[in-house]
Amino acid sequence: MAVRVPAGFQALPLPIAQLSLAAVLKCGQSFRWSIFPLQISGNTPLQHVDPTHEYRLCLRDRVVCLRQSPDTLFYRSLFPTGVLGDQEQREAETLAWIRDYFQLDIDLVNLYRQWSATDPVFNRIQDRFEGIRMLRQDPFENLISFICSSNNNISRITKMVGSLCRTYSPALLHLAPPAGSDLVEEPYHPFPSPSSLAAPEVSAQLRALGFGYRADFIQKTAAMLVEAHGVNRSPKTSSEPSEEWLMTLRDKDTAAARTELLNFMGVGRKVADCVLLMSLDKREVIPVDTHVQQIATKYYGFRGPTKTGTMSPKLYEEVSSKLTAVWGDYAGWAHSVLFTSDLKSFASYGLASPSTPSTPSTPGLTPDRHSASSQDTAGIATPRDSMPKSGKRKRGGSNRSLETKTREAEIEETLVQLEAVVEDAISEGTVDLSLADRVKRRRRGTLSTR
C-alpha cells in the first residue's frame, strides 16, 4: 500500500511496535510535547492508516513536528523566520535528532520478546502495550522536570513545566495548530537554561506560579549548577557549561552518576534514578515510586512497605534490585512498559482509543473486554489457559460501544485485567523470584541518600 505523506513532511519507515508516540509522549517521561488531534478526512480508503495526531516539541533552534501511521513516522522541523539555512541539511539534522531521542537503534520488539520469555507477567500484557520505549532526553530538562514530580501528577507537572518555559525562556517562534481552522498562533518556547533559573528571585516567582516547595528546589539546583560550572558568553545559541557537564554523566557508571545527582536540592533516590534512566543512558535502573512499589507487591509478590507506608531506602533498594533481576539489562525499559500499562490515563490503551477507530493496523490486538470484578481477584486463582473470566461490571463488560463507557470504568477494567494476569503468573509459580538473589547488590556507598 502506498504511503501517503502529509505535505511538508518526510517519511521514515517505522513499525508502531517499535515506537508508539501516542503512548510514549504522554506516559510521564517528557512533559513538554504538545499534542494536536488531526481532522481525519471522512471517506477515503486510506483513512484507517492516516495519522490521527500531530506531536510538537520545541528544541533550542527548531520545532520538531511528528505524525505517525502504523508503519511510518512522519517528521518535519520548523524554524524562526528570517533564519537562513539549507532545508535539506536541516531535515537530516532533525532525523539524526529523532534517531537519538527515540533511541531507534535499540530493537524494542526484540526486547519485548526477551522480557516475555522470562517474565509471564510481561508476556500477558505485551500485546496491549506496544511500542513503549525509553526516550533519551536532555539531562537538565529531565532533572528540573522530575524535581517538579514529587507529590505530583502528570497533568500538573505538565502545566508547571509549561509555565516554566513560558516564564524563563523567550518564544522561539509562533505556530498555528496543524489542522486549525482557527488561525490562532501559539508561542513555542525551548526549555530554559540553568542560568535563567538560577537567579535568586526565581524562587519567589515560581512560588507565585504555584510550584509550592519545589520552587526553592529548582532555583537552588540551577544555582548549584551555575555556581559549579559557570555560564557561556553567548547563552542563547548553545548549551551552558553545566548542561554539558550533566551530559558527561552519561560516561560515568551508574553509581557515580547517581552520587552526583543526589547532591542537588530536591533530588532524592527516586528522582535521581529517573534522570539516570531517562537521560543518562542507565537503562537497567528502576525508579521506585509508590506506584512501582504497588506493582511489585501486588503483581510480583514482593514484600510490601513496612509499618508506616513510607518507603525506606532499604525497601527501595530491595524492590529496585529484584525488578532489575526479573528484567535484566534493560530493566528500566521494561519497568516503563509495566508502569505505563498501569497508568490511569492509559486504561483504554490497546482496547480502543476514543478518538481512533479500531483498525487492522494492530492485528492481534483483539480488544479485550474480559474483566473480573475486584472481588473476584481477591485470593481466587484465575483460569490459566484463557482470559480472566468475565464478570459483571457497572457499565457492562461486554459492551462494544466504548464511547459509552466512562473513563473510570475503563481504568478499573484495565487494572483488573492486569491484576488477574499477574495473579495467574504467581499462582503458576512462573515468576522466578530467586533470580533476585543472583543480582549483585550495589555498592554500599551508592545506597546512602546523603
Partner DNA sequence: GGGCCACCCCTA
Partner DNA sequence: AGGGGTGGCC
Footprint of DNA (CB under 7 A): 27-28, 149-156, 207, 210-213, 217, 264-272, 274, 289-291, 306-308, 310-314, 339, 343, 449-450
Toward DNA, which CB reaches closer, 212 or 391?
Answer: 212
Q: Give Cα separations from 359 to 350, 354, 364 (angstroms).
A: 11, 13, 11
Question: From the CB of residue 227, how many other CB atoms can be counted at a distance below 10 Å?
Answer: 11
C-alpha span between 15 and 429 (Å, rounded) = 34
Q: Which of 26, 236, 252, 270 is catalytic?
A: 270
Toward DNA, which CB reaches closer, 170 or 213?
Answer: 213
Toward DNA, which CB reaches closer, 94 or 348?
Answer: 348
Q: Where are the alpha helices (DSSP H) in 251-373?
A: 254-262, 269-279, 290-300, 313-327, 331-342
Quote the least distance from Cβ 172 to DNA, whole Å: 27
Toward DNA, which CB reaches closer, 49 or 295?
Answer: 295
Quote the least distance from Cβ 267 to DNA, whole Å: 5
Which among 338, 321, 390 has a CA at the least distance from the CA of 123?
338
Q: How far, in whole angstroms, is CA 318 from its chain's centroid?
A: 23
Helix (H, G, I), strand (E, B) or coil at 96: helix
Q: Give Cα separations from 159 to 148, 203, 327 (angstroms).
A: 10, 17, 33
Toward DNA, which CB reaches closer, 124 or 335?
Answer: 335
Quote the least distance from Cβ 190 to DNA, whole Å: 23
The DSSP H or E segment spanning 53 is strand 53-58
Quote the least distance from Cβ 191 to DNA, whole Å: 18
Is the separation of the CB atoms in 244 and 228 below 8 Å?
A: no
Toward DNA, which CB reaches closer, 282 or 370?
Answer: 282
Quote the least distance from Cβ 249 to DNA, whole Å: 16
Quote the least distance from Cβ 204 to DNA, whole Å: 11
Question: From the CB of residue 14, how many other CB atoms can be counted at a distance below 10 Å?
Answer: 20
Residue with cell 539516570: 276
C-alpha span between 232 and 217 (Å, rounded) = 23
* Antiparallel, parallel or unpaired: β 53-58 and 63-69: antiparallel
Question: From the CB of residue 355, how many other CB atoms can be counted at a distance below 10 Å?
Answer: 11
Quote the least distance from Cβ 343 to DNA, whole Å: 5
Toward DNA, which CB reaches closer, 77 or 149?
Answer: 149
Annotation marks residue 270 as catalytic = yes
**Phi, psi for residue 340 in degrees, rounded to 5:** -65, -40
Which among 436, 196, 430 has a CA at the least distance from the CA of 303?
436
Residue type, 391: G
Quote the least distance from Cβ 308 to DNA, whole Å: 4
Toward DNA, which CB reaches closer, 9 or 211?
Answer: 211
Is the separation of the CB atoms in 188 and 171 below 8 Å?
A: yes
Residue with cell 529484584: 322
Task: Cite the active site residues.
Answer: 270
